[in-house]
Amino acid sequence: MSTTSEVHADVEIDARGSFCPGPLMELIRGIKTLPVGGVIAVRSSDPGSAKDIPAWLQKAGHELIGAYPEADCTRFVARKLR
Amino acid sequence: MTRRIVIVGGGVGGTIVANLLARRLSPEEAEVTLIDSVGAHVYMPAWLYIPFSDEPVARNSFARPESSLLNRHVRLVIGEVTRVDPVNQELTVRRVAGNGEVATTTYPYDELALATGARLAPQDLTGMVESADAYHEFYSAEGAVALQEALREFQGGRIVVAVGGIPYRCPPAPLEFTFLLDEWLRRKHLRQRTEIEYLFPLPRVFPIEPVADVAAPLLEQRGVKTRLFFNADELDGEHHIIRSLEGEDVPFDLLVLIPPHRGARVVEASDLGDPQGWLATDRATLAVKKYPHIYAIGDATDLPVSKSGSAAHFEAKVLAARLVALTRGEEPDPKHAEYDGEVMCFLETGENQATQLVFNYNHPPQPPRPSLLYHMEKQLFNKAYWHIVPQGLV
């Protein structure tokens, strides 16, 4: 099983402590400017992200590479597919 | 030696920083210069109310001369900063004289605060520039006045409220607009002939779950349809359709579309920011990463806080404390000179009620139930703003 440090991302977003606009908005913002095939990571301390982020990625047609727990947050890594 | 501190941008953040520095540092300690492209200070939150006003509203109603808000020790330069040179620590400023002659001047700095804000970028959403007549917005004075005129002529139909890009200023504004729109349509006896649909990028009606939990039933009670996970991707003005990244088409008769935003042109021209022109900013010190002696506040940053006057206000106080300490060769006190993500704002829910959001990086907001009290506080703040906020008194 891979650990978070082994999963490289082209763009890293630190959304720890973000309530408004929140980690998912930060992810959507980042993914829009990423080329197709690019990998993005967002760090979130919001427990709601565990549900929101995979749900949006599925709806928007992108790949969730993984969700990796860290000390004070979870690092979500996704690949832009279209 | 006198430190040369230059602030770019005369919005809420830049003005507060300049005024606090001028008050706390003597002219021998620092020369404080604020450069603003137009020399006018605008209170943007007032634009939300313009479309619903029964009276004609002048485009400049919510602007005042920047010079009238600045401490007398602040030197105000009215001109456009066209380039930041972080290596030589200087700015290029383009000024147009009364006779139309253009002059370019260089301003050196020891410390630079970029409070350059956000700008509307309709070119970032397919179809928005080509179909400029097909949508309305209230994110500019002109747009809000045009929307007021469009509503005055509106006789019923389908109104869609949507977000055109992320990030956008003041995340609650589309929700507030929707509540106020519903109220206005009822007042004008048009509500029964009007369908309102609120489209939002997230899986709930607002980023903050407790707020969404309060707002969603209110929208339902008022007969507003909601469509979630809708990230606008294309405007088809000819067929009156807004299309999402997620693959949905939504028709409209009147579309209120929040335009995409970008950082300031000077950030892009100087290659200081990310692809959208936001400055990579340290979440605590507000230092722009990779560029010593440059700081950023307000909408210009890439911080994960709302692009709002409130965030700019709290960041400005932190940055002023930091710059005072640095000017005096002191270690900045983390209590006052580090930003903890603090934001405080109101959210109008219509029918003379509002709630309040207070939060920082470590404490989520716990909004109280909407009430008349918070609505009155917001109205009071809208009036008191000019006398207390830009001056840095609160």
Q: What span, in angstroms and rounded, lies between the C-alpha atoms of B321 and B312?
A: 14
B123 φ, ψ to 5°?
-65, -15
Give the Å distances, CA to CA, from B319 to B58, B121, B284, B338: 34, 28, 10, 8
Question: With bands split at pLDDT 50, 70 and 90, how would you rate the model's confidence at A57?
Answer: very high
Please judge whether A28 and B201 are an interchain contact, meaning their C-beta atoms are less than 8 angstroms apart: yes
A69 touches chain B (CB under 8 A): no
> What is the set of active-site residues of A?
20
Q: How far is B230 from chain A (nearest CA, A)?
A: 10
Q: What is the pLDDT of residue A2?
A: 55
Which residues in B lie closer than 8 A to residue A14 (C-beta atoms)? 283, 304
pLDDT in tens, B153-206: 999 999 999 999 999 999 999 999 999 999 999 999 999 999 999 999 999 999
Task: Give B33's Cβ-side CA count (13 Å radius).
Answer: 21
Q: What is the pLDDT of residue B98?
A: 83
Please judge whether A19 and B365 are an interchain contact, meaning their C-beta atoms are less than 8 angstroms apart: yes
Please judge whether B343 and A20 are an interchain contact, meaning their C-beta atoms are less than 8 angstroms apart: yes
- Taking the model in full, what pTM does it have? 0.95
Average pLDDT, chain B: 96
Whether residue A3 is predicted with pLDDT greater than 80 in this model: the reply is no
Question: Beta strand B74-78 with B80-85: parallel, antiparallel or unpaired?
Answer: unpaired
Assess contact for B115 and B312: CB atoms under 8 A: yes
| Of B203, B283, B306, Cβ closest to residue A56 | B203
pLDDT in tens, B59-105: 777 999 999 999 999 999 999 999 999 999 999 999 998 888 999 99
Q: What is the pLDDT of residue B209?
A: 86
Stretch B98-118: mean pLDDT, rounded? 95
Assess contact for B205 and B219: CB atoms under 8 A: yes
| Of B203, B304, B362, Cβ closest to residue A26 | B304
Give the Å distances, CA to CA, from B231 to A52, B16, B246, B260, B322: 14, 35, 7, 11, 38
Q: What span, in angstroms and rounded, lies between the C-alpha atoms of B119 and B298?
A: 12
Rounded (10°) angle between helices B209-221 and B173-187: 20
Q: What is the pLDDT of residue B246?
A: 84
Whether residue A1 is predicted with pLDDT greater than 70 in this model: the reply is no
Whether residue B129 is predicted with pLDDT greater than 80 in this model: the reply is yes
Q: What is the pLDDT of residue B255?
A: 98
B208 touches chain A (CB under 8 A): yes
